[in-house]
Structure 1
Amino acid sequence: MKNTKTLLFLFLLSISTFAQKIPLPEHPRPDFERSNWQNLNGLWDFEFDSLNAGEKNHWQAGVTDFSHQINVPFPWGSKLSGVEDLADIAWYKKEINVPNDWQDQRTFITIGASDWETSVWLDGHFLGKHQGGYTPFSFELTEYLTYGQPQNLVIKVDDARRLFTLYGKQGYGNARGIWQTPYLEARGQNFIESLHFEPNIDKSQVTAKLILNKAASANESLKLDFTNASQSFSAVFSAGQKSAEFTIEIKNQHLWTLEDPFLYEVEANFADDELKTYFGMRKISVTNLPGTDIPYIALNNEPVYLQLALDQSYHPDGFYTFPTDEFMKNEILLAKNIGLNGIRTHIKVDIPRKLYWADKLGLFVMADLPNSWGEPDQNAQKESEYTLRQMIDRDFNHPSIFSWITFNETWGLRTKVTNEQGKSENRYLPETQYWVASMYYLAKSLDQTRLVEDNSICCGAGHTETDIYSWHQYLPGYEWEAFMRNLDTTTYAGSTYDFEKGFTQGRQPMINSECGNVWGYDGSTGDVDWSYDYHRMMNVFRQHPQMAGWLYTEHHDVINEWNGYWRFDRSPKYTGLEELANGMMDKDFHSMVYLTTGQDITQKVKAGSTYQVPMYLSCQTGEAMPGGQLVIEYKWSGADEIGNSFGSESKNLSVDYQPWMQKRLDPLAVQVPSKNGIYQLELAVKKQNGEELHHNFMSFVVEGGSMENVQLVTTSPSAYTSASWSKKEETILNGKKANGMGKGSFTYELKTSDEKIKAKTGYLLLELSSRPLYQRDQESGNLKDMDYMLGAVADPARNSNAYPMTDTDLNPSDVVIRINGQLAKRMTLSDDPADHRGVLSWFNQEENRKLQEAGTYGYLVKIPLTKAQIRSLQKTGKMEVKLETNSENGLAVYGKDFGRYAFDPGVVLVK
């Protein structure tokens, strides 16, 4: 990976973190909040217990001094916790002081999440034990409290590895011990255990389902105040009643939508207990894409084309735990700002405050049940069922969650058996498949307001009972069209494709639930430009409306996958789209109105020819357009073979429009530029009033043209006459690019046999960049040979396919250029960029599921020739060009088939 520098973004976040008296001071459950509470985050005394001798030595009494301090709620071993991971068992101790004015209520400690077995004592009195790693639990302190006086709270956590526990991807950073906020809370004598709201937008009603801690001892009143809707509701709990359902009419209902995520804020009062919560009036269902019989997931009875990101929901310094509430809010904003409408929190029950920001800002969430890595035995089944119940109970009121996913890629569902040949293998057994189906029904019994997916399938496993027909696929950009055509023919009610024996497709929406190119190449891509293959993939997806949405891997990089929209530290990656098509941004890949030219986003064509551009218009919106038409604007831009930029005037084409239309348009006939070079056909879709809806482009490598009054004397990047490099020297793809790493030089001799050189002026023309030595240049690795999800760490530039994508870290190299031994120019090449601008580097890759510096490109270098240099070339027919650097970041030389510009190193002579 490129050299790490302190980013302003991270600096400000760190200031924000340490400026707080305690980390994450906000109430951890905005959806279930009581006014009398104390946040217990911050420094706790801490001790490891590798021999599990703490109880025997009476550490629970709270009088033993511990030798460390830990910053709660960060898991031990994380940087933000302040302690290393030295053992599987550890103890926490903190002095608490419960105020006198809590005496009339009952006091509890709630721990948001702690992995895995957690025991709690107050002044040596045992309060309780909890097993599980992802959901909150509470123990009552009231009996042992001395109000207004300091007391010792002691917690023991045993996180020894157990194959049946729901470990998920903690190999990216273990959630060891307490990893969500612990807090004290005052509750009523008989308090509200849960309060769920089930909206019914079709009837303008909501059903409130309330469960008490114990049955009411006498008739007690319940009042629900809708504080931001000028509405309230009252009812009576009868003696002996513990739970009840109430249907409430909602006046002038305000729907929760992705564009207007309105939340009904509720204050609930029962007897002497009170809490604040919220819900959204929204409906999740399935409906047809208008004008078709294709089922789509619907929000408030209107189809939604899902555009989601897989969200590992990890932080490099806090692992499962984020440093600030602002960071969690920003996670949601990052996704929304590039036009995504949802995330899939991957095999982790996410932090409630992050879900709150998804609710508040309007972003869909697919919620995964974490997986075990053992076999699906009784212990694993018990753990999964318990956590599924708890996560649905905790998160029921979050309107952003539209689906539950009980399993991912059959992880933890295979059993070791001996096959017919006497060899051991892991199989997804029929009895396990029926248990998976039962988990679907369990989730549906607990929550009928959302969709449930049995198994987000991959790797030969199929679905059982499910509300969503999902699938995973990672492919190079050039394989998507064939794959999608096959899927179109195999998706229909009654099909057995992608379903296990005994189960068939119904009328489920068909979506992709993981895609990208990160695993589409042999051994993964490593850190590489995500945008070029993504462009091809989006262009294909939008031509196949039978797929009701997709989910890209991934929101941010993690320790072994680097195809995130953002890096692990959430610093940006630069795609360069705005330099290829005026006004285009990453967000244009996610436009609801999308004009695609198909999978082949780069074509090689003859100069001056007419090309028929294929066009398909995908409109995943019910919005009406003025005049019932859209305008397609197109123009040329780019650079010719002598390094001159080119641009044409815009032209317009009007097309008829209907909401939700999916239509192949007549091809667009365009005249290709007459000069050799590489050009973009820029496309923009606009309303008739000029409002821009979408940008796209198609690249053209133009050959066979001629240049008047110009002579070229060029050579191949690999045809250097001498080279000397301190670290490494190599050529890429049969000489399309030359790399010199470390300090050193390339020398080229430009020769011409043309004795009639008549030039008034001329210039040396090069495409150059720096070229550091990466780990992949010294050794390469296949990530599929690594147990990466269980803890293996890989350098992002170690993979043989990798080339680090352009970001905020630069690799400058100072270069000296000499012509015939004389100094011609000193310059600094600021970086070795790799992104969508390296069109030629992508276009000329071999289609063999391997990558060789895909997306890399250099900077345009033009150095005017002196008259003496021109005369020397005329006289001798040759010119020596030496490129040298004393920088450790090296030098790369690009040719006409690699990089950003379609020319070889050489001189341009102008008559």
Structure 2
Amino acid sequence: MSNQIPRPEYPRPQMVRSEWLNLNGWWDFEVDQGDSGLERGLVEAPLTRSILVPFAPESQASGIGETDFLQAVWYRREIAVPEHWAGQRVLLHFGAVDHDTTVWVGGTEVVRHRGGFSPFTADITDTLTDGRGTITVRARDLREEVQARGKQATWYSNTHCQYTRTTGIWQTVWAEPVPPVHLKRPRITPDVGGECFRIEAPVSANRAGYRLRATLSANGIEITTAQVRADLDLAPALQLTIPAESVRLWSPTDPHLYDLHIELLDETDQVMDAVESYAGLRSVSIDGQHLLLNGKPVFQRLVLDQGYWPQTLMTAPSDEALVRDIELGIAAGFNGARIHQKVAEERYLYHAARLGYLLWGEFGDWGVSGQGTRGHNQQPTASFTTQWLEVLERDYNQPAIIGWCPLNETHQVIHDRITVLDDITRGMFLATKAADTTRPVIDASGYSHRVAETDVYDSHSYEQDPTAFAAEQAGLAHGHPQRNKPADGEFSLPYAGQPFFVSEYGGIWWNAELAAAHASGEQRDASWGYGQRVATEEEFHQRFTGLTAVLLNNPHMFGYCYTQLTDTFQEQNGIYHFDRTQKLNTTRIRTAQQQPAAYEQQ
């Protein structure tokens, strides 16, 4: 076994402390297929196997590689914090664990969390003895339990566009020391019109004489600083006004980031806590059908990114792999992505910000319908909303995120009785608007637009014929966009003139090896894609160019999202192979997208 720690980089770039302890690496492990481990004493009893955290046990990289349904799994490792952490509180952080997680330290339960996509934290100070303790984690992922799964397969095998499941820890585990009174995650709101940032920095408690100080800089040069009392409010706030000569807007063509240093000072000016962060000055606004970035129309050439890797599943194998996916998208002519049906790692969002890659924040709930677990991925529950609120809190500050999409492809017929899905749809929309007033929100991408005041209206279309696709999209000019409908009714409330885009299209099915096999008469159907597969790469490019031109030439549409960046397991419709190697002539794909968008020419 290697002693090298996987994913060694700091996992939370928007709130960096200088002291931390990476707990990735080899942990004791056991599969608890009967979910009886609690009764059998696994909180303290020895575990029989080992796993490489943060990779899920279904992945090859974990050292386990078991892809059957895993009802529950257990983890254990020792923690020893540095001696100089004495006198501080020790926080234990989990980036993401799927799905129902309980954590014990020294046999004492310290936290329980439901949800496979959002982070959680426990203060473990009082469970440590001389800075040492034993961490035990149980993650339950019951096959029949209602939960948000995203694209994780609900049948035994991968099928269509459902992929290998993820159970247990799949993002970095780490610890850090904080003073008894410390900073919590700040909220950074850019104000382009006011040429400033508004900073709200919650504190764990108030102390007489404490103050909050924030300093903005760029390229190592201080631009401005401000401070405010921190003894009267649990969320002290201040404003950093940027001198005119230092104003620089963040955009895909100039992804400028300011450095932000936030300090908590005591009554003697001693720094009690400090974090490093970053911020981008940009705005998102709506003017009729126009969705504007910094007051200007910027056509969104997005690509659907499933965020899976062959050996590591939903966890990126390395920080470089996160960067690589963005670079591959840009190389193919895209200026952003939908990280589809999962919540991206925080470091991906950081790299998107510094590289100027537009993102729509999404949640992993594909297939939610309220009609039962068999044949559907999941059902709506209260945990959808609680997880989503945790995601919004985590990602509010990210400049690359320009919109939110809490739900995807819901199936609620408009004439049917009101169900819990209606409540969840409206609840998640309202929660998003309450948590973030600065970004537009799509109530549900594609099918069921159930909230009349949704900021953005969209549709999904996998029509493969460019001529038929053009006819399908022509109605937008007359206020009647293409809408996803069931055969016997209507999914959505009427379109009300909102900004509109086709947020999924293409999905062109192409696999050169399988095409050759079919051409020779051999039947090999180990792949899946949308519509009739193309016979040659040339046919792929002609279809891609034709479909994309329809959307680029529509002046009433602010963007599109092509399915998809890479092949993913059996879904063979990527621009690149699953291992990120070259599959198609990306120069031709980029050239097809370089035609000026009619939306930007108005």
TM-score, length-scaled by structure 2? 0.85
Q: Are the aligned partners of 1:164 and 1:373 in contact in 2 as well (CA < 8 Å)?
A: no
The corresponding residue for 1:406 is 406
- From 46, 61, 64, give the equivalent of 1:83: 64
The corresponding residue for 2:35 is 52
Give secondary structure in 2 for the equivalent of 1:212.
coil
The corresponding residue for 2:592 is 589
Backbone CA RMSD of aligned residues: 3.0
Give secondary structure in 2 for the equivalent of 1:152.
strand
Give secondary structure in 1 for the equivalent of 2:426.
helix
* Aligned positions of 1:292-371 closer than 5 A: 295-371=289-365
Q: Distance in 1 between matches of 2:180 and 2:563?
A: 48
* Aligned positions of 1:433-452 closer than 5 A: 433=422, 435-452=424-441
The corresponding residue for 1:193 is 184
C-alpha spacing 1:497/1:533, structure 2 compared with 1 (3 Å): closer
Q: Distance in 2 between matches of 1:167 and 1:531?
A: 33
The corresponding residue for 1:30 is 13
Give secondary structure in 2 for the equivalent of 1:330.
helix
Deviation of 1:296 after TM superposition, in Å, equals: 2.3
Matched, 1:543 2:526: no
The corresponding residue for 2:229 is 237
Q: Distance in 2 between matches of 1:393 and 1:227?
A: 24
Q: Distance in 1 between matches of 2:166 and 2:229?
A: 41
The corresponding residue for 1:168 is 150
Q: Distance in 2 between matches of 1:222 and 1:332?
A: 36
Give secondary structure in 1 for the equivalent of 2:301.
strand
Give secondary structure in 2 for the equivalent of 1:466.
coil
Q: Are the aligned partners of 1:60 and 1:123 in contact in 2 as well (CA < 8 Å)?
A: no
* Aligned positions of 1:444-843 closer than 5 A: 444-458=433-447, 464-477=452-465, 478-491=467-480, 503-518=493-508, 524-525=531-532, 529=537, 530-575=540-585, 585-593=588-596, 618=597, 660=601
Structure 1: stretches of 5+ with no match in the other structure: 1-17, 289-294, 420-426, 578-583, 594-617, 622-659, 662-911
C-alpha spacing 1:298/1:522, structure 2 compared with 1 (3 Å): closer
Deviation of 1:517 after TM superposition, in Å, equals: 4.8
Q: Are the aligned partners of 1:592 and 1:620 in contact in 2 as well (CA < 8 Å)?
A: no
Q: Are the aligned partners of 2:464 and 2:531 in contact in 1 as well (CA < 8 Å)?
A: no
Deviation of 1:66 after TM superposition, in Å, equals: 2.0
Q: Are the aligned partners of 1:461 and 1:500 in contact in 2 as well (CA < 8 Å)?
A: no
* Aligned positions of 1:66-215 closer than 5 A: 66-85=47-66, 87-147=70-130, 150-171=132-153, 172-214=163-205
1:188-207 C-alpha deviation (Å, 9 max, x unpaired): 21222220111111110111
1:207-259 C-alpha deviation (Å, 9 max, x unpaired): 11222223x03231111122435134343435452113222212222211111
Give secondary structure in 1 for the equivalent of 2:359.
strand
The corresponding residue for 1:809 is none
Give secondary structure in 1 for the equivalent of 2:170.
strand
Deviation of 1:281 after TM superposition, in Å, equals: 0.5
Counterpart amino acid of residue 311 in structure 2:
D
1:52-83 C-alpha deviation (Å, 9 max, x unpaired): 3333333323xx33221101001111111111
C-alpha spacing 1:247/1:461, structure 2 compared with 1 (3 Å): closer
Q: Are the aligned partners of 1:164 and 1:374 in contact in 2 as well (CA < 8 Å)?
A: no
Q: Distance in 2 between matches of 1:106 and 1:364?
A: 37
Deviation of 1:431 after TM superposition, in Å, equals: 6.7
Deviation of 1:156 after TM superposition, in Å, equals: 1.3
Deviation of 1:187 after TM superposition, in Å, equals: 1.2
Deviation of 1:125 after TM superposition, in Å, equals: 2.3
Q: Distance in 2 between matches of 1:54 and 1:29?
A: 32
Q: Are the aligned partners of 2:148 and 2:379 in contact in 1 as well (CA < 8 Å)?
A: no
Counterpart amino acid of residue 499 in structure 2:
P
Give secondary structure in 2 for the equivalent of 1:332.
helix
Counterpart amino acid of residue 149 in structure 2:
Y
Specify the structure having the higher radius of gyration (Cα).
1
C-alpha spacing 1:543/1:441, structure 2 compared with 1 (3 Å): same
The corresponding residue for 2:524 is none
1:253-308 C-alpha deviation (Å, 9 max, x unpaired): 221111111112212111422222211110011246xxxxxx22211111011111
Counterpart amino acid of residue 196 in structure 1:
R
C-alpha spacing 1:163/1:371, structure 2 compared with 1 (3 Å): farther
Structure with more relative contact order (C-alpha pairs < 8 Å, separation 6 or more): 2
Give secondary structure in 1 for the equivalent of 2:381.
helix
Q: Are the aligned partners of 1:43 and 1:72 in contact in 2 as well (CA < 8 Å)?
A: yes
Give secondary structure in 2 for the equivalent of 1:387.
helix
- From 231, 240, 264, give the equivalent of 1:248: 240
C-alpha spacing 1:401/1:48, structure 2 compared with 1 (3 Å): same
Q: Distance in 1 between matches of 2:10 and 2:292?
A: 32
Deviation of 1:465 after TM superposition, in Å, equals: 3.0
C-alpha spacing 1:253/1:500, structure 2 compared with 1 (3 Å): farther
1:741-778 C-alpha deviation (Å, 9 max, x unpaired): xxxxxxxxxxxxxxxxxxxxxxxxxxxxxxxxxxxxxx
Deviation of 1:559 after TM superposition, in Å, equals: 2.3
The corresponding residue for 2:263 is 269
C-alpha spacing 1:543/1:20, structure 2 compared with 1 (3 Å): farther
C-alpha spacing 1:526/1:174, structure 2 compared with 1 (3 Å): farther
C-alpha spacing 1:199/1:166, structure 2 compared with 1 (3 Å): same
Q: Distance in 1 between matches of 2:200 and 2:417?
A: 38
Deviation of 1:512 after TM superposition, in Å, equals: 0.5
Give secondary structure in 1 for the equivalent of 2:393.
helix
Give secondary structure in 1 for the equivalent of 2:43.
helix
Q: Are the aligned partners of 2:463 and 2:531 in contact in 1 as well (CA < 8 Å)?
A: no
Give secondary structure in 2 for the equivalent of 1:453.
coil
Alignment: residue pair count = 551
Q: Distance in 2 between matches of 1:358 and 1:283?
A: 16
Percent sequence identity over matched residues? Answer: 28
Q: Are the aligned partners of 1:310 and 1:551 in contact in 2 as well (CA < 8 Å)?
A: yes
Q: Larger strand proportion, structure 1 or 2?
A: 1
Structure 2: stretches of 5+ with no match in the other structure: 154-162, 266-271, 372-377, 511-527
TM-score, length-scaled by structure 1? 0.57
C-alpha spacing 1:46/1:19, structure 2 compared with 1 (3 Å): closer
C-alpha spacing 1:414/1:138, structure 2 compared with 1 (3 Å): farther
